[in-house]
Chains A and B, each alone.
Chain A
Amino acid sequence: MRPTTARTAPPVDRQAVRSARATAVPPAQWDRLQRHLDAVRKPAQYVGGEHNQVITRWRDADVRWALCYPDAYEVGQPNQGIQILYEILNERPATLAERAYAPWVDLEQRMRADGLEAFTLEHHHPLWAFDVFAVTLPHELGHTNLLNLLDLGGIPLRSAERTADHPIVLVGGHAAFNPEPLAPFVDAVVAGDGEEVVIEIDDALRAWKHAARDRRSLLRSLVAIEGVYVPGFHEPRFTPDGRLKATVPVEPGAPSLVPKRTVQDLSQWPYPKRQIVPMTETVHERFSVEIFRGCTRGCRFCQAGMITRPVRERTPADVQRMVAEGIANTGFEEVGLLSLSSADHSGIGEIARTLADRYEGTSTSLSLPSTRVDAFNVTLSNELSRNGRRTGLTFAPEAGSERMRAVINKMVSEDDLLRTTEIAFANGWRHVKLYFMIGLPTEEDEDVLAIADLGIKVLELAQQHGRANKVTISVGGFVPKPHTPFQWAAQDPPEQIHRKLELIKRAIREHRNLRLRTNDPDEGVIEGLLARGGRELADVIETAWRKGARFDGWHEMDTLPTWERALAEHGIDLAHAMRERDEHEVFPWDHLDSGLDKQWLWSDWQDALANRELDDCRWIPCYDCGVCPGLDLVHDTGWDGRTLPIVPSGSAGLPKVAARLAS
């Protein structure tokens, strides 16, 4: 499984294939791939041909994108970002976009032995033939897969080795808010919303291809687009004792601070319209509508909530139209109303009621992935489950003790939780899942044990409404992420996480209907290392990959020992990487502007350490996190600009920090 660098180059004229007016079509590798499909696990993931796949002939386009989610198809296929960009790009008359995913290790082995190159699903074209290899990085555990795909796809691993005859390697997604560990491997980065910027990039590529100039001029035209970061045009500067001083532009035209991209009006981007319908099982099989983007609940651990601010809602009418058209175009049996906290849409009651009325008695089911701890959330779930089963409800108190929840700013009291779960069981729900994290800043063992206590209390309520009712507590290790108030926090070493999980396990041992689900603490180590690392990690990633690390987020793949060997080889200390950061420390991601004011993040971190909560800015005065004025944006407090937002879900004594700010 070790990558081999000596693979025979395909006997194809790359320039003829890649030019705007292609005189040759890249090799379609379907016939060769077929020879291996009987011998690999889940072969349907490699064949494409799904309903709503877009087929464009190679010669009918002059700019060609390979969109990639760097994980297995079953995980990557449902990704909304790829789906949206796939539709937007394919709607352009002279643009072609195809999809690629990571081959599982069994196929990889055969591809390497046979010289078969990483391919897109639509035509099984090799990745090197495209103009852009665009990869979404939802988290850090796909980094080795990204390198593997470059290598398998005939694209030189490092940006410096690529010429005008190779694709631009472009990354986006949440982990692109700190792309520094991948800096030498990628050509360009976009942080934030992709809808508008892919069109600008597509135009720049087209202009460049018709002018047929060198690669550097292409990178220059890309860096001129707002929000595009070219790592090769920036360099880190260090203090004499080796600490990062700044990451500065070294190319004229490269901005010193690269802003994220933000789409103000979602109604102009009603995607997905024609979602791809998989023919083999994936992690989420449903038609998904994003009912709003952004979240200002202010949970201090939550990178998604911080980097996608401000809140922008879709109108209820748009949501209903998208649902109706989406079901007709896909035939999916389930509709998901997605966002970071779906019960928070200011019109969610109306949306849920209208959809429930419309689909009552049909075979279409509705789901609202919301984990908000309040009675209203149960009411919504009741409404949406009119058609069927009341099986499981999920709530996310995130921490076990009141104090710990104040630290992370999850404004839920124990009373809220117990009352809410009691209402759920009284309404016929049979199974409640509770999400928690351990390894949070300032955590003591009593905070950990409070998770077990809470689980036991909820179980007692559950059993009063039915002996067969169940409670699951799902416990994950906290990983500090860039652009959050917890970016300064220390990460618990895996031994600590294991020990704390044991504490919970022992405390709940005697409760048969209380189940514990955990994540592998090892994965959190790799995630944390890469999340807050800088360019010094690039060689480590490459070494780990060369030693066989892949699919780092899969429990089937025990890759931490491989990473530890790679770290040792490059003299990087894992404990140092997981340490608490100083107030004035310069971060590798400081030149990537999420809109959040670093001073505000620091003061919110200080509030956390003092157990002080901060309310949602949709119903308290602005506390100047920095996003709205910086991006010249308006924060939706409701889609129609008039509706008051839903009531806060927290306890009575709020708002705390708001009062302090006001005084």
Chain B
Amino acid sequence: MRVRVRYSKTGRVRYVSARDLTSVWERALRREGLPIAWSQGFRPHPKVSFPDALPVGWDSTGEYAELTFTEDLEVERDLARLSQALPAGMGILRWLVVPDGAPKLAAMLSHTLWEVELDPGMTVPQSDVPARIERLLAASSAEVIRHRPSGDKVLDVRPAVVALRHAGGPAPRLRAVLSNDGPTIRPSDLVAALDPHDDLPVLRHRRVAQGTGSVDGLVEALSGDHVPIDTSAVAEAA
């Protein structure tokens, strides 16, 4: 039996790297005695797969995993136990038993809704941010340089941007729907495109949900629920 889950990774546990996350899941599964399948080969590992790694330190309510079990679960009960066994800050939010012949999980996650909390103490006038967003959306390309130890890389952010909004006030934030096709564009790349003068400090990145995107938000992959991009609806969506 294969099960897909949407789970959260918030609080302290957001500093656990993608590499270490596998053993966090494995040990929780073992503590609950759930019949997870094992890969064959020299170094067997439990069949828990993650379509996309989240950078260390970023919050998420939109993480996904696919788990393969050797026998059928009593899904509601067993996944509730598994969710309890995960460390504080991690919990299973939705689940879906995968029917035979279903498309790959990654194919169901064509878009991501991101939220970027901006530092309210930023020096740039907040009213300037919408203008920058307008300019970005009006342009046909927006190149940024991503610095990596392996070398700098030039990326065009614009093709990935499906929607982008800003909310001002005491807790200013950006929300964006980014396409996951083509080269991976992170919200940090998006902020770099909006921030040529390095005056837009970010407090926190959050992956809100993944699914199929549109200009108003996205349809979440496992539930089919609409998650709006409209920042006034943030509280309801959360």
Residues of A within 8 A of B (CB): 30, 37-38, 43-44, 46-51, 277, 279-281, 285, 327-333, 363, 388-389
Chain B residues with CB below 8 A from A30, complex form: 12
Inter-chain pairs besides A328-B31, A331-B26, A331-B31, 7 sampled, C-beta below 8 Å: A37-B15, A37-B57, A44-B20, A46-B15, A49-B13, A279-B87, A388-B44
Nearest to A30 among chain B residues (CB) is B12
Cα–Cα, bound, A604→B27 (Å): 48
Cα–Cα, bound, A328→B27 (Å): 10
A-B contact count (CB 8 A): 65
Chain B residues with CB below 8 A from A44, complex form: 15-17, 20, 56
Per-residue CB contact flags for chain B residues 7-24 toward chain A (1 = under 8 Å, else 0) read 000011101110110011
Cα–Cα, bound, A50→B15 (Å): 12
Interface SS of A by simple majority: loop
Do the beta carbons of A329 and B31 come within 8 Å of each other?
yes
Nearest to B43 among chain A residues (CB) is A389
Listed A/B pairs (12) with beta-carbon separation below 8 Å: A43-B15, A44-B16, A44-B20, A46-B15, A47-B12, A49-B13, A50-B87, A330-B27, A330-B31, A331-B31, A333-B26, A333-B27
How many Å from the CB of B233 to the closest CB on chain A? Answer: 27
Task: Give the size category of B's interface with A.
Answer: 20 to 34
B27, B44, B89: the one within 8 Å of A331 (CB):
B27
Cα–Cα, bound, A574→B15 (Å): 44
Most buried by B among A46, A50, A389: A50
Do the beta carbons of B16 and A279 come within 8 Å of each other?
yes
Q: Is B88 close to A, CB under 8 A?
A: yes
Leading 5 A-B pairs by shortest Cβ distance: A331-B27, A331-B30, A331-B31, A47-B12, A49-B12
Q: Is B29 close to A, CB under 8 A?
A: yes
Do the beta carbons of B16 and A280 come within 8 Å of each other?
yes
Chain A residues with CB below 8 A from B31, complex form: 51, 328-331
Q: Is B28 close to A, CB under 8 A?
A: yes
Do the beta carbons of A281 and B20 come within 8 Å of each other?
yes
B17, B19, B38: the one within 8 Å of A363 (CB):
B38
Chain B residues with CB below 8 A from A43, complex form: 15, 56-57
How many Å from the CB of A352 to the closest CB on chain B? Answer: 22
Chain A residues with CB below 8 A from B88, complex form: 49
Do the beta carbons of B56 and A331 come within 8 Å of each other?
no
Residues of B within 8 A of A (CB): 11-13, 15-17, 19-20, 23-24, 26-31, 38, 42-44, 46, 56-57, 85, 87-89
Chain B residues with CB below 8 A from A388, complex form: 44
Do the beta carbons of A333 and B17 come within 8 Å of each other?
no
How many Å from the CB of A424 to the closest CB on chain B? Answer: 19
Cα–Cα, bound, A363→B35 (Å): 11
Chain A residues with CB below 8 A from B26, complex form: 331, 333
B12, B23, B46: the one within 8 Å of A48 (CB):
B12
Chain A residues with CB below 8 A from B15, complex form: 37, 43-44, 46-47
How many Å from the CB of A378 to the closest CB on chain B? Answer: 21
Do the beta carbons of A363 and B44 come within 8 Å of each other?
yes
Tell whether A280 pairs with B20 under 8 Å between CB atoms, given A44-B15, A48-B12, A363-B38: yes
Tell whether A51 pairs with B87 under 8 Å between CB atoms, given A279-B24, A331-B26, A333-B26: yes
Most buried by B among A279, A330, A389: A279
Tell whether A331 pairs with B57 under 8 Å between CB atoms, given A49-B13, A363-B44: no
Cα–Cα, bound, A389→B20 (Å): 22
Most buried by B among A47, A329, A330, A332: A47
Nearest to B205 among chain A residues (CB) is A38
B17, B29, B42, B46: the one within 8 Å of A280 (CB):
B17
Chain A residues with CB below 8 A from B29, complex form: 331
Do the beta carbons of A279 and B13 come within 8 Å of each other?
yes
How many Å from the CB of A328 to the closest CB on chain B? Answer: 7
Cα–Cα, bound, A48→B44 (Å): 28
Chain A residues with CB below 8 A from B27, complex form: 51, 277, 330-333
Do the beta carbons of B13 and A331 come within 8 Å of each other?
no
How many Å from the CB of A187 to the closest CB on chain B? Answer: 32
Chain B residues with CB below 8 A from A279, complex form: 13, 16, 20, 24, 87
Cα–Cα, bound, A49→B31 (Å): 17
How many Å from the CB of A550 to the closest CB on chain B? Answer: 23
Cα–Cα, bound, A653→B57 (Å): 63
How many Å from the CB of B227 to the closest CB on chain A? Answer: 26
Nearest to A43 among chain B residues (CB) is B15
How many Å from the CB of A329 to the closest CB on chain B? Answer: 7
Cα–Cα, bound, A277→B88 (Å): 13
Chain B residues with CB below 8 A from A37, complex form: 15, 57
Nearest to A124 among chain B residues (CB) is B12
Do the beta carbons of B38 and A49 come within 8 Å of each other?
no
Tell whether A49 pairs with B20 under 8 Å between CB atoms, given A329-B31, A331-B28: no
Cα–Cα, bound, A281→B88 (Å): 18
Cα–Cα, bound, A281→B21 (Å): 10
Chain A residues with CB below 8 A from B17, complex form: 44, 280
Chain B residues with CB below 8 A from A47, complex form: 12-13, 15
Chain B residues with CB below 8 A from A277, complex form: 27
Chain A residues with CB below 8 A from B44, complex form: 363, 388
Cα–Cα, bound, A90→B44 (Å): 36
Nearest to B55 among chain A residues (CB) is A38
Tell whether A38 pairs with B20 under 8 Å between CB atoms, given A279-B87, A333-B30: no
Nearest to B30 among chain A residues (CB) is A331
